[in-house]
Amino acid sequence: MAAGLLSAVAGGAAAENRPAKELFGGMKLPARAAPSPYGSYAKGCIAGAVAIPSDGPNWQAMRPSRNRRWGHPQMISLIERLSKDAPSVGWPGILIGDISQPRGGPMLNGHASHQIGLDADIWLTPMPDRRMSAKEREDLPFTTMLKENKFLTVNDKVWTLAHARLIMLAASYPQVERVFVNPAIKKKLCDTWTGDRTALGKVRPIYGHDAHFHIRIKCPQGASGCKPQAAVPPGDGCDKSLAWWFTAEPWAKPKKDPNAPPPKPPRPTQLSDLPKACAVVLQAPAAESEMAATYGGGAPISALTAAPAIPNGAVPALAAQMPELPDVVPIPLARPAGY
Ligand SMILES: [Zn+2]
């Protein structure tokens, strides 16, 4: 298994210089350990992630080839809860988009966040009343909630009260810290939501997010390696911070100095940029199988959480126990030929 892990991690002589997104993007299974997020939503990783099954009574997971059905068990059970509660707000079931990679971390494409198993995308398309094939789940196009030819305006031909109620339901759970939606959708909620507005402040405007919304949960209690985000400001958020999105500023192209040299492409995140624990997570033994690490499928969650934890606050101590842990944590190279 170790050799398999090494070859999965490596695969090239220059493995140690490979961007973190290639290392984490190549992992097929989670690290077998107690569930632990390390780092922040946009710079970190997760040990002991579990997968949500592709199908549940009220959900279907989309884009199966991406292998991003993995998350912290609290994220996975929150999604299950949302799927169960959805029919009560007139939404038949949910289509689940990306959660995280098996060990989290940066991704080869898409998302800056989704790195520690505490973010999940839910489509703004209701689940159809039949099971879609794997191919349909790959190919089903997104449906934007916006008018094609009008600046930041929700299209009332596709937007319904059930959309609003699903987003507000997601925001209502105490463990949900933020729900990201397009600014036009936030404005729509501000203008039309007549129910309890307590949770509306958690719904945050952001670029994109016009065909799906994004649920972010808090750092789980006791997860000392998880770096929390600042709390959302008080109030419903239907204020200046929203009005700003309707000005030219967020959409203006950055001004270019014609005499400036072309900008250098940004340096991709390296493993050494992530919390030290992420090098351990990357090299940890894999879960037995995808099935064994799937929520409710094969192994009970309790069996997974009973696995030994990767020490958390104790990561520096763990590093001290290793014979030598240089600043740049070495990545195993490819297996020698003929081995
Ligand atoms: Zn997202």
pLDDT at 17: 74
**Assigned token pair, 277:** 């624990």
> Which of 168-172, 212-216, 309-313 is predicted with the least confidence, judged by mean pLDDT?
309-313
CA of 212 to the centre of ligand 1 (A): 8
Residue 8 has pLDDT above 80, yes or no: no
* Ligand 1 mean position, distance from CA 43 (Å): 14
Q: Categorize the per-residue pLDDT at 297 as very low, low, confident or very high, splitting at 50, 70 and 90.
A: low
Cβ neighbours of residue 30 under 8 Å, at least 6 residues apart? 46, 47, 48, 49, 50, 51, 70, 102, 103, 286, 287, 293
What is this structure's pTM?
0.83
Strand partners, 40: 43
- How many angstroms separate the alpha carbon of residue 209 from the centre of ligand 1? 8
- Are 37 and 116 in contact by the 8 Å Cβ rule? The answer is yes
- Spell out the domain ranges in the chain: 50-227
Percent of the chain with pLDDT over 70: 83
Residue 69 — pLDDT band, cuts 50, 70, 90? very high
Average the pLDDT over 185-196 and give the result: 97
Mean of the pLDDT values across residues 69-78?
96
What mean pLDDT value characterizes the chain? 85
What's the rounded Cα separation, in Å, for the pair 111 and 113?
A: 5
Q: With DSSP H G I counted as helix, E B as strand and the rest as coil, what are the percentages for the chain, rounded to 5?
A: 30, 15, 55
pLDDT one-digit tens code per residue, 228-259? 999 999 999 999 999 999 999 999 987 878 88
Say which CATH class 50-227 falls into: alpha beta
Ligand 1 mean position, distance from CA 147 (Å): 21
pLDDT at residue 301 is higher than 60 = no
CA 33 to ligand 1 center in whole angstroms: 25
Which one is predicted more confidently, 88 or 333? 88
CA distance 20 to 107: 8
Residue pair 26/11 in contact (Cβ under 8 Å)? The answer is yes
Q: Which of 122 and 112 is assigned the larger pLDDT?
A: 122
